[in-house]
């Protein structure tokens, strides 16, 4: 059985970058549920990567980010 994923708009910070995109989540799941999974990488879709100062670097349909690199992640109402 295939589960349809919802795409939660997020704002994510690493030590070097700010990333805007969407985090695919099963219905009724929270961001913290995804962070607490045993998988090492987070799939970020429709990702836009910026420097911390706001300079646009690149855009990609899918970005896999090692969870160890996450400093802060916030939900966004709209992107």
pTM: predicted TM-score of the whole model, two decimal places: 0.87
Q: Which domain holds residue 27?
A: 6-75
How far apart are the C-alpha atoms of 62 and 44, rounded to whole Å?
6
CATH number at residue 52: 2.30.30.100
pLDDT digits (tens, 9 = 90+) for 2-58: 788 899 999 999 999 999 999 999 888 888 888 888 889 999 999 999 999 999 999
In a domain, 1, yes or no: no
Give residue for tokens 């916030």: 74
In a domain, 56, yes or no: yes
How far apart are the C-alpha atoms of 42 and 8, rounded to whole Å?
13
């Amino acid at each position: 059985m295939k589960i349809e994923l919802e795409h939660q708009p997020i704002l994510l910070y690493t030590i070097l970058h700010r990333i805007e995109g969407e985090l695919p989540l099963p219905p009724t799941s929270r961001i913290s549920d995804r962070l607490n999974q045993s998988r090492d990488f987070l799939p970020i879709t429709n990702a836009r990567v910026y420097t911390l100062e706001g300079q646009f670097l690149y855009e990609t349909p899918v970005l896999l980010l090692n969870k160890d690199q996450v400093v802060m992640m916030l939900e966004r109402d709209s992107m």
